[in-house]
Homo-oligomer: A and B are copies of this chain.
Amino acid sequence: MRPQKINDQELLMGLMSVLSSKGYDGASLNELAESSGLQKASLYYRFPEGKKEITSAVLNFVNEWIKKNIYLLLSNHSIEPLVRLHQVIKNINTLYNNGDAICILRALAMDTGVEIFGAQIKESLQLWIKGFTSLGTDIGMTEKVAKENAFLVLVQIQGSLIVSRGLGSTSIYKTTIKSVEEMYRT
Contacts and interface: CB of A to CB of B under 8 A. Distances in A.
Given A156-B155, A163-B154, A21 B111 contact: yes
Interface stretch (A81-89, A100-108, A134-142): A100-108
B155 A159 contact: yes
A114 interface: yes
A110 interface: yes
A73 interface: no
Contact of A23 (B25, B158, B167, B176): B25
A102 B108 CA distance: 12
Contacts of A23: 23, 25-26, 110
Nearest to A179: B152
Interface stretch (A8-16, A33-41, A49-57, A120-128): A120-128
A3 interface: no
Contact of A168 (B122, B157, B158): B122
Nearest to A108: B166
A111 B22 contact: yes
Contacts of A163: 125, 151, 154-155, 158
A157 B157 CA distance: 11
A24 interface: yes
Contacts of A63: none
Contacts of A156: 155-156, 159
Contacts of A125: 163, 166-167
A160 interface: yes
17 contacts: A21-B111, A22-B25, A24-B26, A26-B26, A26-B110, A105-B166, A114-B165, A122-B166, A122-B168, A125-B166, A125-B167, A151-B163, A151-B175, A155-B156, A155-B162, A155-B163, A155-B172
